[in-house]
Amino acid sequence: MLFCENIDSEPKFKLVSMKRILSIQLAILFAMNLFGQAEFGIIPQPVSIEKRGGTFELNNFTRIEVPDRAPEVQQVARWLAQYLLKVTGYQISIQPSSVARDSRGSVISIGLNRKEDPVLGNEGYKLSTDPGLVILAANKPAGLFYAAQTLLQLFPKEIESKTLVKKNYWEAPAVRITDYPRFGWRGLMLDVSRHFFTKDEVKQFIDEMVRYKFNLLHWHLTDDQGWRIEIKSYPKLTEVGAWNVKKTGTFGRFSAPEADEPRNFGGFYTQEDIKEVVQYARDRFVNVLPEVDVPGHSLAAIASYPELSCTPGTYKVNSGERFMNWANGGFTALIDNTLCPANEKVYTFLDKVFGEVASLFPFGYIHMGGDECAKNFWEKSDQIKQLMEKEKLKDMHEVQSYFVKRVEKIIESKGKKLIGWDEILEGGLAPNAAVMSWRGMKGGIEAAKMGHEVVMSPTTFVYIDYMQGDAVVEPPVYATLRLKTAYQFEPVPEGVDAKLIKGGQANLWTEQIYNMRHAQYMTWPRSFAIAEAVWSPKEKRNWDDFAKRVEKHFERYDAAEIKYARSMYDPIFTSIKKDTNKIAVELSTEITGLDIHYSFDNSFPDKYYPKYAAQLDVPKDAVNLRVITYRNGKPIGQMITMPVEELKRRARSR
């Protein structure tokens, strides 16, 4: 094929290969597809979406047709009808398709495929919207539920409102969508041990996560600060272990409780509460993974039953005061917070605990924790020394491995499979254990190469308890994870059998999270990024397109009154040491199209102040650098005051 090029005003012809033409065409199509994705604003983005002409109109005469009488299909229809009733006020009826249609109303058809579509699998779906008709089709009810989530995202942002919004009709664009998940394990972890969240708050968390097609709630139920699940064989676990002293300030730096301070802060779930939450989750196609964290992180259990420790003494549930020494490369405990691997009573205890846990949770896995087990008290224990001699264990890692292998047998005896944090690899992995890799990807890679199932959950990409913006404005945590970094999460490392990577999840540890509003702030929008990493095709990943869709969901969250972080609009500060007395600072942003205005004179900059264009030399006597971001002449980020002393400190540490 010949193309004409005009170079120096002289016509010349250049032979362009069909391969190059095809690549250009594909690039154009890809760009058009990205534009379409941003236009619709769906998160996680579907496998394919095609825009059609016209719109679907939802009104007071709309009805839902469900030809299938299967209970779970009917359940999806009821869920959608109830959701729409709450927001629109429309009494949308659910009827079999044989009933005559009202010409004034549109129809939402929800049904299973008569012949399974192998492309869709168990959770995929096809969604078509046309004037007068929406069709949700899937192989399984879960797919229909996810189709309903996508449908809601096609309606205007007000559909997210928690209260009635009066409209004569609601419009959704006409589209064709084919969609299915990349991974079967799409999780969010909620820690209810450090700070307790009520049954209704957990349900609220589930409602928010399913809107983005997460299908697994990892429920962290026990830790040093609280035991949250009723175990009838051991009532003191909740009589004693569920309660500590209320403190306000920064967790980990609280003063030690006085003897007379009331231990009435916390709470627990009865077994009936657990059943209710599990059923609530199942009705929304969410599995619940229970975690009982042992042998470390067990202070609440030991406070309830001190005989479970290797170290005799009196124990109290931790209230957020310091009890561990953390240092680069390791940690030790000031108080023994571990169960004793050399004590047979511990295995009797765990057999009964895991027996009751297994009966409450239908999911096939139980998480045993296994992380951050301080072994300095084990090293002093005569019981441990005797165990090592008897079992020919060479070091403390093998002691923990001995414990993990015995726990695996207990969990398997209850008909479940053990999963634990990647420390369970140390000293030798239990034969059938699955590994949740949190200390980066290394543990997951090692486990997968040994033929074990892996869930990727690395701190570097999915720890949503980390700060989201600069430490000078964020609630203090020991590390930062920005939205753009979270979006780079890739669960399958190179050189690993992808079949062994079950999926991934984000983790919300709650040491510094005291209420549900702050939990929302930490979860969103970074969990949008994780949702896309575990649902959408890898090749469709595009940061700029994703950022545009996130902004649309900010508007939807405003309508829903859900709290979220706007840190993506805030500048990133990079300090540079120039010489002994001088530093410079570079400013950048996660997203494009923002202007940064700044001041060094202690005043509050706006769009009339200097606009950042290149590295800034910090004036000798300046005390603060203040910045704010604008877009199209309007403020979009928050005013940030960065002390010059902090810039100097960062420059020294680089």
335-365 pLDDT tens trace:
999 999 999 999 999 999 999 999 999 999 9
Residues 398, 406 contacting (CB under 8 angstroms): no
185-559 CATH choice from 3.30.565.10, 3.20.20.80, 3.30.70.580, 3.30.420.40: 3.20.20.80
3-class SS at 155?
A: coil
Q: Residue 9: what pLDDT?
A: 33
pLDDT tens for each residue of 564-616: 999 999 999 999 998 878 999 999 999 999 999 999 999 999 999 999 999 99
Token pair listed for 250: 């920064």
Q: Residue 37: what pLDDT?
A: 58
Q: Which residue has the tokens 């972080």?
A: 565
Of 95-104, 304-313, 569-578, 602-611, give the lowest mean pLDDT range: 95-104
Q: Residue 105: what pLDDT?
A: 80
Alpha-carbon distances, residue 361 vs 78, 238, 357 (angstroms): 25, 19, 6
Q: Residue 328: what pLDDT?
A: 78
User: pLDDT grade, residue 98 (50/70/90)?
Assistant: low
pLDDT tens for each residue of 392-424: 999 999 999 999 999 999 999 999 999 999 999
Q: Alpha helix locations (H) across 536-624?
A: 543-560
| Residue from 223, 423, 465, 570 carrying the catalytic annotation | 223
Residues 6+ apart with CB under 8 A from 67: 96, 97, 98, 109, 111
223 catalytic per annotation:
yes
Check pLDDT > 70 for residue 3: no
CA torsion 588-591-595-600 (nearest 10°) is: -30
Angle value at C-alpha 491, between 477 and 464, nearest 5 degrees: 20
297 catalytic per annotation:
yes
Whether omega before 156 lies within 30 degrees of 0, making that bond cis, reads no
Residues 66, 110 contacting (CB under 8 angstroms): yes
Q: Give, as one character, the DSSP assignment of residue 475.
A: P
What does the alpha-carbon distance between residue 290 and residue 411 come to, in Å, rounded to a whole number? Answer: 12
Q: Residue 99: what pLDDT?
A: 67
What are the residues facing 110 on neighbouring strands?
136
Q: Which residue has the tokens 């002449």?
A: 633
The CA-based diameter of the chain, rounded to the nearest angstrom, is 93
Q: Residue 329: what pLDDT?
A: 74
Residues 359, 366 contacting (CB under 8 angstroms): no
Residues 6+ apart with CB under 8 A from 325: 331, 332, 333, 334
Q: What percent of the chain has pLDDT over 70?
A: 93
What does the alpha-carbon distance between residue 583 and residue 579 come to, in Å, rounded to a whole number? Answer: 7
Enter the pTM of the model: 0.93
Q: Residue 579: what pLDDT?
A: 83
Q: Alpha helix locations (H) across 259-381?
A: 271-282, 299-304, 344-360
Q: Give, as one character, the DSSP assignment of residue 158.
A: G
Q: Residue 4: what pLDDT?
A: 31
CATH classification (class only), 47-179: alpha beta
Q: Residue 8: what pLDDT?
A: 33
User: pLDDT grade, residue 549 (50/70/90)?
Assistant: very high
More confident residue, 223 or 12: 223
570-653 has which CATH code? 2.60.40
3-class SS at 180?
A: coil
User: pLDDT grade, residue 192 (50/70/90)?
Assistant: very high
Q: Residue 101: what pLDDT?
A: 67
The helix-helix angle for 141-154 and 71-88 (nearest 10°) equals 20
Q: Residue 38: what pLDDT?
A: 74
pLDDT tens for each residue of 108-135: 999 999 999 999 999 999 999 999 999 9
Of 26-30, 40-44, 234-238, 617-621, give the lowest mean pLDDT range: 26-30
3-class SS at 587?
A: strand
User: pLDDT grade, residue 17 (50/70/90)?
Assistant: very low
Q: Residue 363: what pLDDT?
A: 98
Residues 470, 640 contacting (CB under 8 angstroms): yes
Write phi, then psi, for 362 (nearest 5 degrees): -70, -25
Of 12-21, 158-167, 534-543, give the lowest mean pLDDT range: 12-21
Q: Whose CA is closest to 93, among 70, 118, 59?
A: 59
- 3-state helix, strand, coil split of the chain in percent (to 5) is 35, 25, 40
Contacts by 239-244, CB closer than 8 A, 24 or more apart: 239/304, 240/303, 240/304, 240/317, 241/300, 241/301, 241/303, 241/304, 241/317, 242/196, 242/266, 242/267, 242/268, 242/300, 242/317, 243/267, 243/317, 244/316, 244/317, 244/318, 244/319, 244/320
Q: Residue 43: what pLDDT?
A: 98
Task: Tell me what the pLDDT averaged over the chain comes to.
Answer: 93
Check pLDDT > 90 for residue 21: no
Residues 6+ apart with CB under 8 A from 298: 222, 224, 308, 337, 338, 339
* Spacing of C-alpha 4 from chain mean position: 52
| Residue from 372, 426, 446, 555 carrying the catalytic annotation | 372
Q: Give, as one character, the DSSP assignment of residue 241.
A: T
Q: Residue 26: what pLDDT?
A: 45
What does the alpha-carbon distance between residue 43 and residue 557 come to, in Å, rounded to a whole number? Answer: 13
| Residue from 195, 218, 220, 297 carrying the catalytic annotation | 297
Q: Residue 100: what pLDDT?
A: 64
What does the alpha-carbon distance between residue 221 and residue 226 come to, in Å, rounded to a whole number? Answer: 8
User: pLDDT grade, residue 217 (50/70/90)?
Assistant: very high
3-class SS at 229?
A: strand
Q: Residue 636: what pLDDT?
A: 98
